[in-house]
């Protein structure tokens, strides 16, 4: 899919799958993220969303880290405000992105609904 340029939006385990496809490693967290009140920073906007999460594994990386992939440059796009765990990655050209949390869950007043708008724009060819 990545090689063909098909738009991709990974959610939850999809974040780990995309991260692995882009060359990042995963690890078992000492304490997983479980609950409906996990703050996540979107490094492109600086916004913090209160998210719903249930995961015990994560991608290895740092906030805002850029890295080379076979599909072009990528970046760690989201991290947990509590502990710095990677919560999202994306290709810089925008055709593939993912988040570790559940943006559809609307866990707080600043939910992550905007991610679905970004994906619709990407599928319509406006996000490139």
Pick the catalytic residue from 12, 78, 80, 87: 12
- Report the alpha-carbon distance of residue 100 to residue 123 in Å, rounded: 21
**What residue ranges in the chain does DSSP mark as E strands?**
8-11, 26-42, 48-59, 66-67, 74-80, 86-91, 96-99
- Report the alpha-carbon distance of residue 53 to residue 2 in Å, rounded: 26
* 104 included as an active-site residue: yes
* 33 included as an active-site residue: no
* 12 included as an active-site residue: yes
Pick the catalytic residue from 43, 104, 110, 121: 104
Residue pair 59/86 in contact (Cβ under 8 Å)? The answer is yes
Pick the catalytic residue from 33, 55, 78, 102: 102
* Positions marked catalytic: 12, 102, 104
């Amino acid at each position: 899919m990545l090689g063909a340029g098909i738009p991709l939006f990974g959610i939850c385990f999809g974040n780990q799958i995309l991260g692995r496809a882009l060359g990042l490693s995963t690890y078992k967290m000492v304490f997983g993220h479980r609950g409906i009140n996990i703050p996540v920073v979107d490094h492109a906007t600086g916004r913090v969303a209160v998210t719903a999460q249930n995961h015990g594994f994560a991608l290895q990386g740092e906030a805002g880290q850029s890295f080379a992939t076979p599909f072009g440059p990528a970046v760690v796009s989201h991290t947990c405000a509590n502990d710095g765990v990677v919560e999202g990655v994306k290709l810089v050209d925008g055709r593939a992105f993912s988040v570790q949390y559940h943006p559809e869950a609307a866990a707080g007043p600043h939910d992550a609904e905007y991610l679905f708008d970004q994906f619709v724009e990407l599928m319509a060819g406006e996000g490139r």
